[in-house]
Amino acid sequence: MNIINEAGYLYVYSKKLIKINKELNKLSRKAHKHSHQHQKAKEEKKHKHQKRHQSTVNEIKELMKKHNQIITKLRHHHLTYAHALKKEHKT
């Protein structure tokens, strides 16, 4: 692949990574909120907040899988970009 295609891949994957990071930040705030509400709640409402906290944590785990996949793709394309840049610079 040439350097322009690799730069395009880097751009697209970096945008996806930024989007996932924003979602992770939002979900972590939600999980913290539910955890805090679980601690403050009376006995009959504790289960509700614990359930919401657990579902948010599961969403975070799924997003982390996607995050790790994008990171590996970014690493791969970064290496091929550096290789193409070096190859183009020599000629």
| pLDDT at residue 91, rounded to an integer | 64
Asked if residue 60 lies in contact with residue 27, where contact means CB atoms within 8 angstroms, the answer is yes
pLDDT of 1 above 80: no
Only one residue has tokens 């705030």, namely 29
What is the Cα Rg of the chain in Å? 20
Average pLDDT over residues 49-77: 95
**pLDDT for 15-47, tens place per residue?**
999 999 999 999 999 999 988 888 888 888 888
